[in-house]
Amino acid sequence: MSATVTERAGGGARGVVGTRMLRREDPALLSGEAQFVHDLSVPGALHLSVVRSPHAHARVLEVDLSAARECPGVVAAFSGRDLLGEWAAPMPCAWPVTADMQTPTHYPVALDEACYVGDAVAVVLAESAAQAQDAAASVSVSYEVLPAAVDLADAASDRVLAHDASETNRAYIWELAPDAAAVERAFAEAAVTVSERYVQQRLIPAAMEPRGVCVVPQPFGGDFTVYSSTQIPHILRTMLGITAGVPEGRLRVVAPSVGGGFGSKLNVYAEELLCLALARRMRRPVRWTEERSEAAQATIQGRGQIQQIELAADAEGHVQAVRVHLVADMGAYLQLVTPGIPILGAFLYHGVYDVPAYSFTCTGVFTNKTPTDAYRGAGRPEATYAIERAMDALARRIGVDPAEVRRRNFIAKDKFPYASSGGLLFDSGDYDAALAGALELADYEGLRAEQAQRRAQGSAKLLGIGLSSYVEMCGLAPSRVLASLNYAAGGWEAATVRMLPTGKVQVVSGSSPHGQGHETSWSMIVADKLGVSPEDVDVLHSDTAVSPFGLDTYGSRSLSVGGTAIAMAADRVVDKARLLAAHRLEVAPEDLDLEAGTFSVRGTPSRAVALGELAFAAFTAHDLPDGMEPNLEAQATYDPENFTFPFGTHVAVVEIDSDTGRVDLVRYVAVDDCGNQVNPLIVEGQVHGGIAQGVAQAMWEEAAYDEAGNILTTSFADYLVPAASELPSFTLGHTVTPSPSNPLGVKGIGEAGTIASTPAVVNAVVDALAHLGVHSMEMPVTPERVWRAVDAARRTPTGGTS
C-alpha cells in the first residue's frame, strides 16, 4: 500500500525537490519581523474610518457630516454622493456568469440605499486612527428602515426585495445539463432514489491578518503606490485603474507580508478604492486597517447555499444520475467573483463517481447581507459535501457499508483521462487506492467492531465513523475554459528566472503568496533545474513593479500553473547557458551534460564550465556566440491546457456524549493525492490547516444573523474558530499519481483538506446517530443540534426519517 508518509515524493535523483525543506518564510514571521500593511511607517498619512449602516436595508435620507468635521484632527468627511465624481465605474464584478445576470450598481460608499449591515454610508479622514474613529461616531445619518431579505429561502421567494428598485432577488439562473433527457430517464428507471437537502452556512474567512490598505501618492506625475493586504496585486491594479479612472501604468500595487486570505483577499474592496481616490483627492497618503469586528461585516463571507441533491441508482447502489438544484446566497452585491463561486463546484456534484447522467442548476439570489465570494475551496467544498453526504444516505438506503458504496461507484483507475458527464476531463486518479489506504490507516474494521460493541452495550458515548472521498478541480485555469464560462480574465501565470553576474539566481513570480511558502518551493524547483543551492535562489513577488505580469494566488493554482511557468523559465535559462557553454568549450550543445550546476563534455568530464562562470560571461558579453543577447535571463508564461484533479479519502471518527450532544473529533485520517510533491512538509502544512478549516465548518463556525439582518458573530468569542486544543493529531498518508496536465506532474493541495473534511465529520456524526433514527443534521453540528436530534428520535421510537 502506497499510503505512507512520504519522505521523498516525485523528486529528482539528487535534487532538493521532494525533500522536507524548512520554510524560508518562517523566521521572519515567527520573530515578528515580517512587515504587514499596518506595520508600514508612512509619514503624513491620513487615517480613514468608514461609517457603516447599522440597518440591513434602509434608505439613506441624510448624511450630516458637520459635527464630524469639527472633531479634533479631522481633515475631511464625505458621503457617498460627495464621492460619486471619483469613480469612473462602479465596483467591479469580473464574472457575469450569464448574459442576463442582474448586477446591482455598487459604489464604495452607498448613495441612497444601504443594503446590508456594514454597507459604507460615509467616510472620515483624520490625522490619527483614533481621531478618525472618534469623529466617525459623530457622523449622523438619518435612515428610513426598509424590510430586509435575510433568510435565503425567503429571499428566493421575492417576498421582500433586497434592492428597492429591482423586481426580483434573482441574480441569475445557471444551468449545466449536457443531456437532460438521460437524467430524466435514469430517474424514471431507478430502483433507488435519494433526495437530500443540505444547507451550507455562511462562514467568515477570519484570516489572521485583517485587511489593510495604504495608498501613497508619489511626488509629481500622478503615480500611486498601493500597499494592500491582498492575494491579487495584479488583478487589483487593473481593477483599481478601471474603477478609479487612474491609468494602470501609474499604479504600483504591493502586497507586503500577507497574513492569510483563504479567498477573502481575492477581491477588490471599497476601502482599497477609497484609499486610492482619497489619496488622489487629498494629495496625501491615506491608510485604513480593518478591525476584527468590522471584518465580520466588511469582508466577504464564504459558502451560503441551499443544496438539493438527488441520486438515481440501481438496486446495488450504482449511481446512474445526479441532479442538483442550488440556491446560492450572493449577499447584497456582486463582488469580484461572487456569482462564479457556486459555478466552480458545478462540475463536481457527482464527485469521484462514474455517473453517466448529470444535471446542475444554480439560482443566485440577493439578500441583505454581506456579499459572499471565494472562500477556501470555493464551490468545491459545497459540491463534495453534497455528494458525499448523499452517498452515505444511499448506503443507508440499500443497507451496505459506506466504503462499499463508494467502491462500487468510483471512476476506475484505467478510465483516466476520464471525460465526465459534467464535461471535464479528469487528468489522472486512483480512487480505490486512496480509500484503501485511508481505511487501513484508520483501522476501519476495528472501528466498526468497536462501534457495534458500544451499541450492543448501550454506551452513552456514541461512536461515529465518517468517510469522504473527494476530487477537486484546481490549478485555475485554462484561459479558454474561463472564456467559455464568461470569466473576464485568463488563467495563465508568468515567471522570470535570471542569473546575476555572481551566479546567484533571481526568480520573479506572478503568483502572490500569503502564507503558502512559495519562496521555499520556487527556490527548490529552480535550484534543481540549475544545479545550484536553494539558498542561492531569491524569489521576488507581490509587487507589480517587480513582476509586471501575473494572475496571483487562489484556486490552488500557484504550483501547477505558476510553478510550471518557473520551471519553464529555468529550462530556458539552461538552454541558453548550454549554447554559451558549447561555444566556450567548442563542442556541440547536444554533447554537453548538465550536472550539479556544471556543463561538461560527455566522455571528457574534465572539460567543463560552471553555470556561474557562464552567468558572468553572459554579463560581460565579451565573448558570446554571434547573435546571442547578453545575460542569462528568461521569461515564460504558462497557460494550462487542463485543470488538475487532486483526490483522496478522509476518515473522521467522532464520539458523541448522548446526554449533552457534545461531539468530540477523536481521530482523523487523511490520504491525499496531489501528484508529485515538491515539499512534503509544505503539503502536510496545507493539509493540516485545510482539515482544521473544514472541520471548523462542520462543527463550529457560522456567520449567524438575526431576523433583522444583524450579524451576531462579530468577535472570536462568538465566531468559533477552533484551536489546536479542539482537534486531534491528524494521521496523514499520501498516494502519488502524477498529473499529466503539467510537466511537474503536480496537482494543488491548498484547498483539498477543506474540501474533504467537512462531509467526513458530518457523516461521522450521522453515522453515530443513525441507529437511533437520526439521518439529517445541519452545520455546524452544535451540541444543541445533536441533543435535539437525539431527543426527537427518542420521542419517536419508530425512528426518524431522513
Binding site for other proteins (CB under 8 A): 129-130, 133-134, 137, 291-293, 659-660, 662, 700, 704, 712-713, 715, 717-718, 720, 722-723, 725-726, 782-784, 787-788
- Dihedral of alpha carbons 397, 400, 404, 408, sign: negative
Provide the minimum distance between the beta carbon of 259 and other proteins in the complex, in angstroms, as a whole number.
Answer: 16
Backbone angles phi, psi at 724, to 5 degrees: -55, -30
Between residues 457 and 715, which has the closer beta carbon with respect to other proteins? 715
Q: Measured from the CB of residue 782, what is the shortest distance to other proteins in angstroms?
A: 7
Which residue's CB is nearer to other proteins, number 264 or number 289? 289
In the complex with other proteins, the residue whose CB is nearer, 133 or 166, is: 133
Distance, CA of 482 to CA of 678 (rounded, Å):
27
| Contact yes or no for 229/212 (Cβ under 8 A) | yes
Shortest CB 137 distance to other proteins, Å = 8
- DSSP type of residue 561: I
The grid coordinates of residue 416 equal 483516466
* C-alpha–C-alpha distance, residues 578 and 589, integer Å: 6
**Cβ of residue 715: shortest distance to other proteins, in angstroms?**
8
Q: How far is the CB of 229 from other proteins (least distance, A)?
A: 16
Q: What Å distances lie between residue 638 and 266, 495, 509, CA to CA?
A: 21, 9, 12
Query: What type of residue is 477?
Result: A
Nearer to other proteins by Cβ, of 415 and 788: the residue is 788
- Alpha carbons 300 and 402: distance in angstroms, whole number: 36
Cell 453515530: give the residue.
768
Is the CB of residue 465 less than 8 Å from the CB of residue 764?
yes
The residue among 48 and 537 lying less far from other proteins, judged by its C-beta, is 48
Compute the Cα dihedral for 681, 682, 683, 684 and give only its sign.
positive
* CB within 8 Å of 523: residues ≥ 6 apart: 24, 507, 534, 535, 537, 538, 539
> Is the CB of residue 663 less than 8 Å from the CB of residue 698?
no
Query: Which residue, 316 or 791, has its beta carbon nearer to other proteins?
Result: 791
Pick from 44, 20, 195, 242: nearest CA to 801 = 195
CB of 774 to other proteins, least distance (A): 17
> At closest approach, how far in Å is the CB of 427 from other proteins?
39
Shortest Å distance, C-beta 291 to other proteins = 4
Identify which of residues 173 and 712 has a Cβ nearer to other proteins in the complex: 712
- Distance of closest approach, residue 784 Cβ to other proteins, in angstroms: 4
At position 648, the amino acid (one-letter code) is G
Question: In degrees, to the nearest 5, what angle opens at C-alpha 706 toward C-alphas 701 and 707?
Answer: 140
Strands (E) across 728-787 are located at 730-734
Q: Nearer Cβ to other proteins, position 387 or 656?
A: 656
Q: At what angle do helices 752-769 and 783-795 cross, to 10 degrees?
A: 30
Residue 653 or 663 having the CB closest to other proteins: 663
State the nearest-atom distance from the C-beta of 366 to other proteins, in Å: 24
DSSP state of 558: I
Nearer Cβ to other proteins, position 53 or 138? 138
Query: Of 140 and 293, which CB lies nearer to other proteins in the complex structure?
Result: 293
User: At closest approach, how far in Å is the CB of 698 from other proteins?
Assistant: 13
Cell of 435: 480509500
Quick one: which of 444, 454, 321, 317 has its CA closest to 393? Answer: 317
Dig out the grid coordinates for 47 from the structure.
487615517
State the nearest-atom distance from the C-beta of 704 to other proteins, in Å.
5
Cα gap 457→450, rounded to integer Å: 11
Residue 54 CB, nearest approach to other proteins (Å) = 13
The span from the CA of 237 to the CA of 222, in Å, is 15
Q: What is the C-alpha separation between 107 and 427, in angstroms, rounded?
A: 42
CB nearer other proteins, residue 293 or residue 776: 293
Residue 146 and residue 59 in contact, taking contact as beta carbons nearer than 8 Å: yes
Nearer to other proteins, 189 or 706 (CB): 706
Instruction: State the minimum distance, in angstroms, from the CB of residue 145 to other proteins.
Output: 23
- Is 584 or 662 the residue whose CB approaches other proteins more closely? 662
Q: How far is CA 167 from CA 99, 199, 695, in A?
A: 18, 26, 39
Query: What sign results for the dihedral spanned by CA atoms 370, 374, 379, 384?
Result: negative
Q: What is the phi/psi pair of residue 303, to 5°? A: 60, -140
CB neighbour list of residue 119: distance below 8 Å, 6 or more residues apart: 52, 53, 110, 332
| Least distance CB 660 / other proteins (angstroms) | 6
Contact 799, 793 (CB under 8 A): yes
**By C-beta, is 158 or 291 nearer to other proteins?**
291
**792 — alpha (psi -120 to 50), left (phi > 0) or beta?**
alpha
